[in-house]
Amino acid sequence: MYVKKLPELDYGVATTIKALGGKWKACILDCLHLGIRRPSELCRNIPGASLRVLSQQLKELEACHIVYKKVYAEVPLRVEYYLTSWGESLWPVIVAMNEWGNAYLHHHCNSTPQES
Amino acid sequence: MYVKKLPELDYGVATTIKALGGKWKACILDCLHLGIRRPSELCRNIPGASLRVLSQQLKELEACHIVYKKVYAEVPLRVEYYLTSWGESLWPVIVAMNEWGNAYLHHHCNSTPQES
DNA sequence: GCCTATAATGATAAATTTGTCCATATGGAT
DNA sequence: ATCCATATGGACAAATTTATCATTATAGGC
């Protein structure tokens, strides 16, 4: 696995961004919140993300204690991910971020921040 | 300048992270909020960040309409950055992210998310 | 004249994240 | 026998972000 070489920042905002900042993490958390729990379901519900990438992001979220995993002894293998209490506590933050971002998108005619 | 090749996500959370997610951006906004405005001052107040990197991040924040720039015709050149109203509107979001992150750091003994 | 400080940028390297392709294992359906 | 779906991970490539080094320009202090 990859080992960091650059020093990391450890104050609040940086920590939150590290936990939540992966490209697909907010999508995943949104799905989990809606009850979409299996990797293959997530993949079908998140256009553009491959199963491989989602697995990576889920693993990181798990390492952050934001989600946990339930494995069923079935075939084909059945796995479900759930929000932990930490993940739940992140929800209001996600909502706040989502609202700001949507207001931004509205005001700037759907251009992304860096471009306009 | 760098031109993106991968598709970008354009819902709220992703937009907020794009605006705020650069390594030093939260530090910079925090400083601006405290009244530290000149690039050289920022550099002295943010250990580990070079003037070059801060300039880049300031430029991106400017492109996002989160900060604006005042140039004084003095020598040596004097430049000051200020939060725009968008920047101000981001403040509650930053506070929410900061609180969650700090709580996380407390609970997980100062380890960063990915490591623990 | 040389060194200081100021702000910005080009060129390039290093680090990190994201993506693609392939492989594994298992039981059921065709 | 072959293909399907399931979940995961190795190996590696591509994309992106961050960092380093050098250069520009200007006026003052020594």
Q: Report the CATH number that the domain containing residue B69 is assigned in CATH.
A: 1.10.10.10
Structural domain count, chain A = 1
Given phi > 0 = left and psi -120 to 50 = alpha, else beta, which region is A30? Answer: alpha
Quick check: bond before A47 cis, omega within 30?
A: no
Domain membership of residue B7 (yes or no) is no
pLDDT of residue B113: 54
Domain membership of residue B20 (yes or no) is yes
Mind listing the pLDDT tens digit for each residue in B40-61? Answer: 999 999 999 999 999 999 999 9
Q: Is B89 exposed, middle or buried (0-12, 13-18, 19+ CB in 10 A)?
A: middle
Mean pLDDT of chain B: 92
Write out residues whose CB is closer than 7 A to strand C. Answer: A 2-6, 21-24, 48-50, 52-53, 56-57, 75-77; B 6, 38-41, 51-52, 55, 58-59, 69, 71, 76-79
Q: How far apart are CA B28 and CA B101, in angstroms?
A: 17
pLDDT of residue B75: 85
Q: How far apart are CA A35 and CA A45, in angstroms?
A: 12
Domain membership of residue B4 (yes or no) is no
Opening angle at CA A13, ends B88 and A1, nearest 5: 145
Q: Report CA(A74)–C1'(C23) in Å, whole number.
A: 21
pLDDT of residue B116: 37
Mind listing the pLDDT tens digit for each residue in B89-102? Answer: 999 999 999 999 99
pLDDT of residue A1: 83
Q: How far apart are CA B95 and CA B92, in angstroms?
A: 5
Query: Are the CB atoms for B42 and B31 separated by under 8 Å?
Result: yes
Domain membership of residue B17 (yes or no) is yes
Query: Are the CB atoms for B115 and A18 separated by under 8 Å?
Result: no
Task: Indicate if CB(B81) is under 7 A from strand D.
Answer: no
Q: Which two tokens stand for residue A20?
A: 């939540």
pLDDT of residue B56: 97
What range defines the domain where residue A52 resides? 12-107
Given phi > 0 = left and psi -120 to 50 = alpha, else beta, which region is B18? Answer: alpha
Q: Which two tokens stand for residue A61?
A: 């979220």
Domain membership of residue A7 (yes or no) is no
Beta-strand relationship, A67-72 and B67-72: unpaired
> Half-sphere exposure (CA, 13 Å, Cβ side) for A35?
0
Q: Is B75 exposed, middle or buried (0-12, 13-18, 19+ CB in 10 A)?
A: exposed
Tens-of-pLDDT digits for all 116 residues of chain A? Answer: 889 999 999 899 999 999 999 999 999 999 999 999 999 999 999 999 999 999 999 999 999 999 999 999 988 899 999 999 999 999 999 999 999 999 999 998 655 554 43
Q: What percent of chain A has pLDDT over 70?
A: 93
CB pairs under 8 A between A and B: 144
In the structure, what pLDDT confidence band is assigned to residue B115 with cuts at 50, 70 and 90?
very low
Mind listing the pLDDT tens digit for each residue in B5-44? Answer: 999 998 999 999 999 999 999 999 999 999 999 999 999 9
Residues pairing with B69 in the sheet: B81
